[in-house]
Amino acid sequence: MSIFRKKQEKPIPFDPEKEEPAIKKSICTGEATVGFVDRSTGHFRDIQVVSTPLNISEFCRRTGTDPDKIKTIY
């Protein structure tokens, strides 16, 4: 039995009818955050700061979304 276990990543829950995945980028600093936009109010819910493209693919894997369908907000 191993003392060290690999951390199991939980899926990120969201309702596709109410929210859509999006990347929010800052115009000034270029910082990017991935999360969800509420379709009715337009409110952005932050999930994770993006430091590499690998973070975006990890987010897509955990939410079950297609990376090509994520919109970008400035």
For residues 24 and 32, the answer to whether their CB atoms sit within 8 Å is yes
Q: Which two tokens stand for residue 32?
A: 């990017």
**How far, in Å, CA of 56 to CA of 5, rounded?**
24
In tens, the pLDDT along 2-60 reads: 677 767 778 888 888 999 999 999 999 989 999 999 999 999 999 999 999 999 999 99
SS3 assignment, position 47: strand
Please report how many Cα atoms fall inside a 13 Å half-sphere around the Cα of residue 30, on the Cβ side. Answer: 2
Would you state the pLDDT for residue 1? 55
